[in-house]
Chains A and B, each alone.
Chain A
Amino acid sequence: MRKKYRHYICRLVQVGAAVLILLGFILLSLHRIGYEMNFTTLWQFRHRLWQGFVMTLVIAVASLCLSVLIGAIAAFAQKAKVAVVSDLARIYVQVIRGTPLLVQIYFFFYIIATSWGIDNRYLAGILILSLFEGAYIAEIIRGGLESIDSQQFEIAKAIGLTSAQTTRLVTFPLLMARILPALAGQFASIIKDSSLLSVIAVIEITQTTQEISAQNFAFFENYFFLGLQYFVLTFTVSLITRRLERKYKHADHT
């Protein structure tokens, strides 16, 4: 117990040292160009910043859920027996992965969303982002499913599990162990990619920061703080998924 405690202190000192070195480097760089950071200018914008942060959080969480759903559907649809369905799924994945998000945002927002009467830009933004990330998640899930030894399903059959039980008790945990690390990376991308929705004037944190910069001209402070906010979000995701990874780790020893 005592040893464990000492181990934690030791790690804390090590991590602290690493952070200090990096911070020192940044401060030195700023000093060399003669820039004095002054974050007090951000304080007056705290309400807008908070609203922007919450909007980014909402968009990220909604897109995260929706993109996993879309990704799962696309992954299974690629294996569908009806050719039209599997072709559609394959084309979707290829096209989305083969074009920039920025192009997709303009295309879907100004053509598809407009023509189908989706005039809420937040809803449109979440849909576009989910479609984009869903294609990547589909590939992650498909790869994960293919890496499971088919004998595992034969065992499930032999002991008399129903297909719903097999999915819940066998496929899901085996799949999670295999795809969680890749999925964690994708979740971080969703958070960062949501910044591009600023181009259709979704007032999330990047858009908010741009607007504030036009008023206070404190670009360094504003964008430094913006980066920090994204990092807080992605780091949280990384902590949560690492915990999940530990839970499922025994399911993958291939």
Chain B
Amino acid sequence: MRITLKQISKSFGERTVLSDVSLDEEITSLAVIGPSGAGKSTLLRIIGGLLVPSAGELLIDGKKINFTEKELLAYRRTIGFVFQSKGLFEHLTALENITLPLIHALGMAEADAARVASRLLTRFGLEAEGHKYPFQLSGGQQQRIQICRAVAGNPRLLLLDEPTSALDPELTAEVLDMLGELQKTGLNTIIVTHEMGFAKKACEKVIIVSGGTIVESGKSSELFAAPKTEQLQAFLDKVLEWHV
């Protein structure tokens, strides 16, 4: 899938968070890394149609996305979005969280939606959690169910905003395993992450966002081996400081 950003900028009042972000890449799996406050979430929300940029264009496979409420609504239904935490509806069970978008956003029949949802839960070893409410689930289970919801409607693109940064290491592993498996099936993903190992091994490409722009981008196999910019080198030094 080709993702094209043309000079995307975003300001909140006086504060400019993204300035002139441009990108034109063929993407299957892309990792977005960078220091906190760099504008990664803002960029991801723009790509997901959740936030309208102050300026610039977004094109998916060469087709321009108009930032009108009507077109964005249709666009969002073709994209899966996974939040950092608390990404499930509090008042619905795990199963209902997965079926609600299928029924109400995609117009699937209830029985079909339930079938799709339970098949996904079984596939990822979550069948016992289907009737639990979010407050009864561990952080890792919540994230995996969020991912189930996001992929249930066969999105053309899955976006994940630091899906493991609120988790313990062993829970992080179970979420990343699930993601790795989904990526192997050919699902296009963009993931904001601090898991350098995952970015390196599981993601084909990577972009480094810092200070509201993309400072470096390329194949993950090459980019990590030989950082071209000081920002990336400094960032890697910092995140890998305690890495053994």
Contact A158 B76 (CB under 8 A): yes
Interface stretch of the complex, out of A65-73, A86-94, A120-128, A168-176: A168-176
Residue of A nearest to B97 (CB): A155
Q: Which residues of A contact B91 (CB under 8 A)?
A: 170, 173-174, 177, 248, 250-252
Interface stretch of the complex, out of A99-107, A146-154, A208-216, A236-244: A146-154
Mark contacts of A228-254 with chain B using CB atoms, 8 A cut-off: 1 yes-contact digit, 0 otherwise.
000000000000000000001011111
| Of listed B81, B90, B93, residue having the most chain A CB within 10 A | B90
Mark contacts of B73-101 with chain A using CB atoms, 8 A cut-off: 1 yes-contact digit, 0 otherwise.
11011010101001111111100000011
Residue of B nearest to A157 (CB): B50
Contact A161 B104 (CB under 8 A): yes
Contact B76 A157 (CB under 8 A): yes
Q: Identify A151's interface contact among B83, B100, B104, CB under 8 A.
A: B83
Q: Which residues of A contact B83 (CB under 8 A)?
A: 151, 154-155, 158
- Distance in Å from the Cβ of A153 to the closest Cβ of chain B? 10
- Distance in Å from the Cβ of A219 to the closest Cβ of chain B? 50
The answer to whether B235 has its CB under 8 Å from any CB of chain A is: no
- Distance in Å from the Cβ of A250 to the closest Cβ of chain B? 5
A149 to B135, CA, bound (A): 14
The answer to whether B149 has its CB under 8 Å from any CB of chain A is: yes
Contact B105 A161 (CB under 8 A): yes
A94 to B203, CA, bound (A): 57
Q: Identify A159's interface contact among B86, B100, B134, B135, CB under 8 A.
A: B100
Residue of B nearest to A163 (CB): B69
The answer to whether A165 has its CB under 8 Å from any CB of chain B is: yes
Q: Which residues of A contact B105 (CB under 8 A)?
A: 159-161, 165
- Distance in Å from the Cβ of B143 to the closest Cβ of chain A? 13
Contact A155 B50 (CB under 8 A): no
The answer to whether A44 has its CB under 8 Å from any CB of chain B is: no
The answer to whether B133 has its CB under 8 Å from any CB of chain A is: yes
| Of listed A149, A155, A173, A251, residue having the most chain B CB within 10 A | A155
Q: Which residues of B contact A161 (CB under 8 A)?
A: 101, 104-105
A154 to B146, CA, bound (A): 13
A19 to B129, CA, bound (A): 44
Contact B133 A250 (CB under 8 A): yes
The answer to whether A162 has its CB under 8 Å from any CB of chain B is: yes
Residue of A nearest to B73 (CB): A160
Contact B77 A253 (CB under 8 A): no
Contact B76 A154 (CB under 8 A): no
A 141-200 contacts with B by CB, 8 A: 149, 151-152, 154-162, 165, 169-170, 173-174, 177
Contact A174 B90 (CB under 8 A): yes
Residue of B nearest to A172 (CB): B91
Q: Identify A165's interface contact among B74, B81, B104, CB under 8 A.
A: B104
A162 to B76, CA, bound (A): 11
| Of listed B87, B89, B93, residue having the most chain A CB within 10 A | B89
Mark contacts of B101-125 with chain A using CB atoms, 8 A cut-off: 1 yes-contact digit, 0 otherwise.
1001110000000000000000000
A159-B105, A160-B101, A169-B100 known; A151-B86 Cβ under 8 A: yes
- Distance in Å from the Cβ of B23 to the closest Cβ of chain A? 21
Q: Which residues of B contact A254 (CB under 8 A)?
A: 90
Contact A154 B89 (CB under 8 A): no
Contact B90 A152 (CB under 8 A): yes
The answer to whether B48 has its CB under 8 Å from any CB of chain A is: yes
B 116-153 contacts with A by CB, 8 A: 133-135, 149
- Distance in Å from the Cβ of B90 to the closest Cβ of chain A? 6
- Distance in Å from the Cβ of B197 to the closest Cβ of chain A? 27
Q: Which residues of B contact A169 (CB under 8 A)?
A: 100, 104
Q: Identify B48's interface contact among A149, A158, A253, CB under 8 A.
A: A158
Beyond known contacts A251-B91, A252-B91: 16 more, CB 8 A cutoff: A149-B86, A152-B89, A155-B89, A156-B89, A159-B101, A159-B149, A160-B77, A160-B101, A160-B105, A160-B106, A161-B104, A169-B104, A170-B91, A248-B91, A252-B90, A253-B134
A-B contact pairs, 26 of them (CB 8 A): A149-B86, A151-B86, A151-B87, A154-B83, A155-B87, A157-B50, A158-B79, A158-B81, A159-B77, A159-B81, A159-B101, A159-B149, A160-B105, A165-B105, A169-B100, A170-B89, A170-B91, A174-B90, A174-B91, A177-B91, A250-B90, A250-B93, A251-B91, A253-B134, A253-B135, A254-B90
Counting from the closest, the 7 A-B pairs by CB-CB distance are: A251-B91, A160-B77, A159-B101, A158-B81, A160-B105, A253-B135, A160-B76
